Amino acid sequence: MQYKLVRIPAAALLPLLLLFGSADAADPVSQQPAIEKAVLEAMAKIEQAAERLEAGSFYDLALPEGSIIQNGKLFASSEEARKSIEQAYQGVEKHEITFRRQLVTVVSPTVALVTAESDSSATLVDGRTISATSAWTVLFVLRDGQWKVLHAHTSVPPRQ
């Protein structure tokens, strides 16, 4: 059996190279560092919104169809959760929050899970200070080029 050498013009290979070259776009492993960075930047925006006492800024990052659980209370919509936080902020003069132990799990190129702990301290309008450690689970999805919160669960574990 004899083989004949066939020369293919480079231009004919371009569609194949583009097709196989874009396989990386669907590979979450190759995108993992960029996805981790993006969702951690979104978590930083959540932290900044909390420190500015701007519940609306956090909920701008949340999808309207998403769900929020805070200390065992399931809110039917992100809007309902936003109203609850705005009401709670009425008695707060200053809020400091620091995320620590943020762990990112990239589920797919469009889904990432962040679990974290945070330390926070709130100074109330009457001068009292309240401190707490919180546990967070935040499910992000990529929508229209932005990482949005589809589900968030925060709780304050009992003191040990």
Identify whether 137 is part of a domain: yes
Domain with 138 in it? 28-155
Domain membership of residue 126 (yes or no) is yes
Residue 42 lies in a domain: yes
Does 67 fall in a domain? yes
CATH code assigned at 55 = 3.10.450.50
**Total number of residues shown for the chain:** 160
Q: In the block, which residue shows the tokens 């400091």?
A: 96
pTM listed for this prediction: 0.76
Rounded distance between C-alpha atoms, residue 141 and residue 16, angstroms = 30
Q: Tell me the pairing of strands 111-124 and 129-143.
A: antiparallel
Residue 41 resides in a domain: yes
Range with the lowest mean pLDDT among 20-29, 57-66, 126-135? 20-29
Per-residue pLDDT tens for 11-58? 443 343 333 334 445 565 688 999 999 999 999 998 998 898 887 787
Give Cβ neighbours of residue 150 (< 8 Å, ≥ 6 apart).
Answer: 62, 63, 65, 66, 67, 139, 140, 141
